[in-house]
Amino acid sequence: MRAAWARLRSHLGPRGVTLAPVGALWVWYGLGLITTDRVAVSAATAPVTARGGLVAWGVAWIACGLLALSAALLRPGRDTWGFAAATAPPLVWGLAFAAAAATGQYVQAWASVPIYAVPVILLVIVAALTGGRRRRCTCERGAHGG
């Protein structure tokens, strides 16, 4: 089991190891938006859900999550679009929450802004620190013994 995890980490690299769980979480969150009644989220995101509703935004979260997962699993170094996809939903959501709080549409929304800002900030930091250089993963160089 350890060897399999080591091979996967070696293939994904730090960027893929970042994108994969974020993508999976965005899929999960999107499914939650579609399948559960989210009255507070509806109120806080009214600036953006007025066009399409929560179901459409749930699909958007899922699509961006799948893009991030795909970018993580494909050849390392060609994943900048995956970081953009992973960053988009929480960025839009955070701005919507901030707008709802600032306009008085849903005053309590200010408390959730950091929850959406932190993933955006961390994704930008990881993307900037690890760079988008193309590289060959160790599995293409035969380092995994196969």
C-alpha 48/C-alpha 56 separation (Å) is 10
The pTM assigned to this predicted structure is 0.85
pLDDT number for residue 142: 57
Cβ 127 vs Cβ 15: under 8 Å: yes
| Residue 64 exposed, middle or buried by CB count within 10 Å (0-12, 13-18, 19+) | buried
Beta-carbon count within 10 A of 77 CB: 17
Strands (E), 4-139: none
Cβ 13 vs Cβ 76: under 8 Å: yes
pLDDT number for residue 24: 97
pLDDT number for residue 32: 94
pLDDT number for residue 59: 97
Torsion of CA 13, 22, 4, 74, to 10 degrees: -60
Distances in Å between the Cα of 19 and the Cα atoms of 44, 54, 56, 107, 139 are 27, 24, 23, 32, 19
Cβ 123 vs Cβ 83: under 8 Å: yes
Look at the block and give the residue holding tokens 């939650």: 32
pLDDT under 70: residue ranges of the chain? 75-77, 132-146
pLDDT number for residue 70: 94
C-alpha 41/C-alpha 81 separation (Å) is 27
